[in-house]
Amino acid sequence: MTRSGLDVLRQPVYAVLKPSEIVQTPPTYDAGSVFRKVWLGAALLVFFLGNVLVYTLPLSFAGIGTVSPEATPPAAFEAVPLGATDPVDAWVFLLRVTQNSLFLLAAAVITFVAFHVAVILTRSSKGLIRSLRVITYSSALYLATVFTLVWLASTNPNVGVADELLLSLQSDFVYYFIDLLGSPLELPGGRVDRPAPSGLTPAGVSILSGLAITLCYYAYVLYLGARKTHGTDRIESVLVVLFVATSPALYVIGSILVFEFAISVPDLLVA
């Protein structure tokens, strides 16, 4: 097996015991022609998409995803020869894979943009490919773990209180910015009441602890990524992580403004 092949198998071990190896980048990693850089970027994207499928396929096989089991496939899809597989089941499975993949892809893209903008603002950027490498490897390991733990909380009846706690934290986070902007928008499920922590089961505590530990690892790897791939100093690396940490807030604010604009468009046209 090649060195690179062994490194792929070692990634889960590095993720826990030696996270610096995940973002360690040789000085000549992206040196060379534009073609080489395009090739490196394509290889990183293929690696990331492969990891996304490894993450989403088991979830989709388990039936996780807010897709109606009665979803009707389009006529063109029904014409595809699927052997003994029912077209409706195949279509629902495809929708679940797409939905589960999009969550991770969106989070990775937002993190990548925030990370690279941050290193540019520190005037330390050594190229887009290096940022892409950091986010590709770290997201494939840590963000996928975060989403898996959240899915476990949402589907396991033994950790219902932990799931309600996570939902209430998400609800409070979004409504904080809705209230801050004075927006009339409401989430589909409304405000979620925070449950009493005393109702947490040992399994629920384990999932919440796992989430906290994974997020700490992720922040640390982004810190290391800024230092080892772009050469930032300690203070600049902390600023990069803090900037990335603000990206969910910027995303929520942007979403609120976009929804408000979309709602106001019909009124503007009538006026």
**Residues across the chain:** 271
Number of domains in the chain: 1
In this predicted structure, the answer to whether residue 196 has a pLDDT above a threshold of 90 is: no
* Integer Cα distance of 110 and 52 in angstroms: 16
Buried b (16+ CB within 10 A) or exposed e, 125-163: bbbebbbbbbbbbbbbbbbbbbbbbbbbbeeeeebbbbb
Whether residue 5 lies inside any domain: the answer is no
The model's pLDDT over 6-26, given as tens digits with 9 standing for 90+, comes to: 555 666 676 777 777 777 777
Whether residue 51 lies inside any domain: the answer is yes
Whether residue 133 lies inside any domain: the answer is yes
Whether residue 8 lies inside any domain: the answer is no
The model's pLDDT over 118-151, given as tens digits with 9 standing for 90+, comes to: 999 999 888 888 888 888 888 878 888 888 888 8
The model's pLDDT over 240-263, given as tens digits with 9 standing for 90+, comes to: 999 999 988 888 888 888 887 777
pLDDT on residue 1: 34
Return the percentage of the chain with pLDDT > 70, whole number: 79
Whether residue 93 lies inside any domain: the answer is yes
pLDDT band at 100 (very low <50, low <70, confident <90, very high): confident
pTM as predicted: 0.80
